[in-house]
Amino acid sequence: MVLTAAADASTRPLTGEGMRRLVSWVTGVKAHTVPDSVLRRAALVVADDLAATVAAESEPQVQAAQAHLTERATAKEATVFNRAAARVDRYSAAIANGAAATWCELDEGYRLAPAHAGAYILPALLAEGEATGTSTEAVLRALTLSYEIVGRCAQAFPFASMTVHPHAAFGTLGAAAGIALLRGYDADALLAAVSAGATMVFAGPYRHAIDGALVRNLWTGVSAWAGMQAADLAPVGFGGIAESTYDVFVGCFGTTAEPTALTAELGERWAIANGYHKLFACCQYAHSAVEASLVLGEKLGAASRNSSDIAEIVVETHPRGLTLTEAAPPTVLSAKFSMPHAVAAVAARGTGGQDAFSRDTLDDPEIERLRHIVRLKPYEPIAPWPKDRPGRVTWHLSNGEVWTEAVENARGGADQPFSTDELIDKIDTLTRAVFPAMPGTLHRLITDPHTMAASPWRDVVTKMTTQ
């Protein structure tokens, strides 16, 4: 995108002023003034993203990466959330946990713009909180307010198309914000850290997720480490400026800028309350089609038939769903970003969970057959949010029958949330085999965060990880 000099002359300073106002407001919010519903949402994000991190601990690549990233650890400050539960220096813990955070595609995300703010903030924030003995209340406050910064920046700098992956674009900014808030930086120091973090993001191609390049799963880990460095060094003079976010996103990445998104309805509309949770282990852009396929699968079972009766699958989806085109995914990451694989695996296995995207599904003959008979089409018309990510799946059976199911908006967002019980069941499934005490501890955090608020976060971690 090319801006005229006049447009740049007006929008750049407006964006800088918006960043100043945002961080000034954020630093003034005390924990006890955060609405109860928002605090509970923050507790749920912590629990959900921790479970997603633990769920990846048995993956060979994750095990190898975490061993490498922690082999030269210099202290015993923070926990790596795998079976060994090693305590290492906070920087090593942040990058190791960050490398696992998005592996399973079961972490939560922000619904109003492409961003997984919890995964950007928590690997660094939880390591810092454990290392310093900070209270759980302070961790929840820092998460809530740094989520506000990430969510608003993601809305203020929208990409016209999916070119740079949000994990690369917003990760370092989010980690820097979380650390700075936990340390109690004033507005000037917070702005310096966040703006420094904004300049330390990187151009990770969105296409890497579709192609299955596993470096994509490392972006959140490297961002956690880099964000901590930004927060460390900004107060001693290595900060950015208020206009840094504009210069990076508009000047380097070519986004547009909407400065009002940085400050509109501050304290009335909370970013963390506009997230979504996942029960399906794949890109959220495929979730409506997965839901529709599950309904068709129930119908198939009731008719005493199986997936071999399907001759063609037509998926009508929204523009971002149309980007998920890979019919022969080479890795599990690629499978999670493949619409053909998602609907084929659901048809063959009757689930959209982990079992539909495990390594063995890549070579499953029936799933492979079904992937190659999937045809993607635009869903028309696209309704306004929250019905802007619809999916319609049509099965053409070999006997000539045609079955169709449509889902206008997948469950999991603020408009159609999963129940607390559903999410606790998910957390239990993902964590119990590794940390038997983790589901119960996270259950208490979700249902009664105020009781646990005064406890040091490191004590909560000890309770979760002690066998």
Q: What is the mean pLDDT of residues 382-386?
A: 93
Task: Please write the tens of the pLDDT for every residue from 73-120.
Answer: 989 999 999 999 999 999 999 999 999 999 999 999 999 999 999 999
Residue 248 and residue 332 in one domain: no
Residue 328 and residue 264 in one domain: no
Q: For residue 374, what is the domain's CATH number? A: 3.30.1330.120
Residue 261 and residue 290 in one domain: no
Confidence of residue 6 (pLDDT cuts 50, 70, 90): very low
Q: Look at residues 222, 242, 275 and tell me which one is the last residue of a structural domain.
A: 275
pLDDT at 74: 86
**Residue 4 confidence (pLDDT) above 60:** no
Q: Which domain does 370 fall in, by range? A: 284-407
Residue 266 and residue 388 in one domain: no
Task: Please write the tens of the pLDDT for every residue from 307-353.
Answer: 999 999 999 999 999 999 999 999 999 999 999 999 999 999 999 99
Q: What is the mean pLDDT of residues 189-208?
A: 97
**Residue 275 confidence (pLDDT) above 50:** yes
Residue 196 and residue 165 in one domain: yes
Mean pLDDT estimate for the chain? 96
Q: For residue 210, what is the domain's CATH number? A: 1.10.4100.10
**Residue % of the chain over a pLDDT of 70:** 99
Could you give the residue ranges of the DSSP H alpha helices within 183-318?
187-199, 207-211, 219-233, 244-246, 287-302
Residue 358 and residue 243 in one domain: no
For the chain, the domain total comes to 2
Residue 261 and residue 320 in one domain: no
Residue 125 and residue 223 in one domain: yes
**Residue 7 confidence (pLDDT) above 90:** no
Residue 110 and residue 10 in one domain: yes
